[in-house]
Chain A
Amino acid sequence: MADASPVLVVEHVVKEYGDVARTRALGGVDLTVGHGELMALVGPSGSGKSTLLNIIGLLDRPTSGTVTIAGTQTTGLGERELTDVRASKLGFVFQFHHLLPAFTAVENVMIPAWGHEGWPSASMKTDAEETLRAVGLGDRMYYRATNLSGGQQQRVAIARALVRRPPLVLADEPTGNLDTASSTDVLQLMRRFNRDFGTTFIIVTHDSRIADSCDRIVELVDGLVTSDRRK
């Protein structure tokens, strides 16, 4: 299913925090991810996984190095252009679902398109409903986020990340807060979307069971890639 051109190219990315006492969170990372890959990003705590994911997600800028997403070189892009790339090419799943508590499941899933375009449209609604059905929440669409279980909330969050069918989805410990059964559900969902739509996933995880069921495992130690295994 993989396209010839990679969906993500990270080149020599360095990230330093602080002005006086500089911490080097990433020490020069190179990473190429193709279309349709299901990749796990692992490593000890503080190794720079979240930092790397935020830089790939264009939520943070690298100190040096470049990030190219689906052919778009992002260095030097303005805030507005970065927002457009995030809206069209990227999906996010966070450890804590981070749904908007006052909104229903459908409204939460509509947010990426609605928030980006401004006006709602009929297709935004049907897309959201369809995606919620796809994650198995067809009967919970008009529940408020706060009235759903943790596993259901995380599935809404996945629907929110996938509703616009972005080529690349970034998940930072998506199961970190879930029990084993829910974790398995979530992983299976991602697998299904990966298979059905060719969506590329980068999943940061501490759970070796999750990592082992991915196609590729990249390990980060002290801000450097120390191993990169494919199955």
Chain B
Amino acid sequence: MPFEWFLALRYLRDARGQTTLILGGVAVGVSVIVFLSALIGGLQTSLIDKTLGSQPHITLSVPREAPRPLVAATASLAIARRTEETAQRLRSIDQWPTVVETVEGRSGVIAVSPSIVGAGFTVRSGARRPVVIRGVDPERFLAIIDLRVRMTDGRFDLDGNYVAIGAKLAANLGASIGDKLRLSSSEGVDDVVTVGGIFQLGNDGVDGTWLLTSLRHAQSLFNLAGGATTIELKVADVFAAQRIAAEIQADTGVQADSWMTINAELLSGLSAQSSSKTMIQFFVILAVALGIASVLIVSVVQKSREIGILRAVGTPRGRIMRIFLIQGGLLGLGGSILGSAFGIALAKLFESLARDPDGAPKFPVQITGSLLVFASALATGVGLLAATIPARRAAALDPATAIRNG
């Protein structure tokens, strides 16, 4: 075994009490990092999954009609004015089949679904409920939101005058499979439809208002023969949605909104969470570093006469330095292995304690190999870094003084 390793291990073994304490300290620090990362990572992933489960990644629509002022201010004319939002009419996207074709060819886009989204009412035996009528091409729509796995009753079938409605809406209307509903659109078109399927996406807004029908049926309900009011997209990398949306908007001129804009609040919440996590990690790491450094500094002071002797009998400075660097690295590595195990145990325990009624964990944790590698590499690196101060101090000891004064 190389001399520096032999000495480093001996020193760690001989200072058993100190070694155990500092290993425990590092382990606690690393377990906090692992636990926190696993918990926050899991929470964020499940939040994003939930959000995107009932939402397209990008929605293309007709640009809003902006109110146009009647008079404009000029260099010499200042005006006080009050503008009112114009009432938004339901309009079809110009040349939407061409737009669908262009975005389908884009890299990163994995599904495209043209649809009509409009408002209306359903009436069943006196109960009258507002609904969001969505006319879709079933194949294409399922590629965006896979409703088949979310059906609580019936089938996802939009042929003829069959529709699929949200579970909460069904409950509010007291409707079940095969029941007929009277439907009237905001354009004043009335029709009778049959409930063919009931779905639950776990989002009250969706489950309480959505009514899915075929694109063709929606076109007639809203007097938009051959039209589509929105085009919904799914992309491969959900965090690229913002960028892709901006590119599509620049290319096609249609309004493109990504889930990231629509859920800006959620995202800023997540990023605040991430930065507080980073801050906690930073301080934990700092504490770990200070702990390792101080233990090793004490060790250098205690062993300064020995170090002087080693130097006197021909041990080079670099080797003395490495004896302490190795100790720092080993303390970091050892502590991080213990800490990772402890952190995983803690996260699993936490996950198993808090469960939803259906048995799914309330706080799903996300422990990845890369998290453990990251935590171990970080702790080892910090151990090495923390050891540089004592290691330099040991190497710089003047042997004559060290031997005389001990």
Contact = CB atoms under 8 A, between A and B. Distances in A.
Choose among B3, B11, B314 the residue with the greatest number of A CB atoms under 10 Å from its CB.
B314
B393 to A, nearest CB: 16
22 contacts: A59-B403, A83-B314, A83-B315, A92-B312, A94-B309, A98-B305, A98-B403, A102-B10, A111-B313, A112-B314, A114-B6, A115-B310, A115-B314, A116-B313, A116-B315, A116-B316, A118-B2, A119-B3, A120-B1, A120-B6, A160-B313, A161-B313
B54 to A, nearest CB: 64
B319 interface: yes
Interface string A56-99: 01011000000000000000000110011011100110100010
A114 B319 CA distance: 11
B187 interface: no
A118 to B, nearest CB: 5
Contact of B313 (A54, A92, A103, A117): A92
Interface string B1-32: 11110100011001000000000000000000
Nearest to A85: B314
Contacts of A118: 2-4, 319
Contacts of B404: 50
A117 B313 CA distance: 12
A116 B400 contact: no
A60 B403 contact: no
Contacts of A79: 317
B312 A59 contact: yes
Contacts, number: 72
Contact of A116 (B10, B314, B403): B314
Interface of A: 50, 54, 57, 59-60, 79-80, 83-84, 86-88, 91-92, 94, 98, 100, 102-103, 111-112, 114-120, 160-161
A30 B215 CA distance: 109
B312 A57 contact: yes
Contacts of A115: 3, 310, 313-315, 319
A5 B312 CA distance: 25
Contacts of A83: 311, 314-317
The 6 A-B pairs at the shortest CB distance, nearest first, are namely A87-B314, A115-B315, A59-B400, A116-B314, A112-B313, A54-B400
A213 B306 CA distance: 31
A47 to B, nearest CB: 16
**Chain B contact residues, majority secondary structure:** helix
B390 interface: no
Contacts of A117: 3
B120 interface: no
Given A50-B404, A83-B316, 4 more contacts: A86-B314, A98-B305, A100-B309, A115-B319
B10 to A, nearest CB: 5
B309 A98 contact: yes
A179 to B, nearest CB: 23
A29 B50 CA distance: 87
A88 B316 CA distance: 13
Contacts of A116: 313-316
B3 A94 contact: no
A103 B10 contact: yes
B227 interface: no
B399 interface: yes
A137 B63 CA distance: 96
Contacts of A60: 398, 400
B12 to A, nearest CB: 11
Contacts of B2: 118-119
A103 B10 CA distance: 9
A100 B314 contact: no
Contact of B310 (A59, A84, A111): A111
Interface string B295-335: 00000000001100111111111010000000000000000
Contacts of A102: 10-11, 14
B313 A87 contact: yes
A54 B400 CA distance: 7
Contacts of B400: 54, 59-60
Contacts of B311: 59, 83
A198 to B, nearest CB: 21
B314 A84 contact: yes
B306 A100 contact: yes
A124 B100 CA distance: 80
A120 B3 CA distance: 7
Nearest to A172: B403
Nearest to B1: A120
A70 to B, nearest CB: 15
A139 to B, nearest CB: 24
Interface in B163-196: none
Interface string B72-91: 00000000000000000000
A120 to B, nearest CB: 7
A170 to B, nearest CB: 10
A114 B3 contact: yes
A195 B306 CA distance: 31
Contacts of A94: 309, 403
Contacts of A92: 309, 312-313
B348 to A, nearest CB: 40
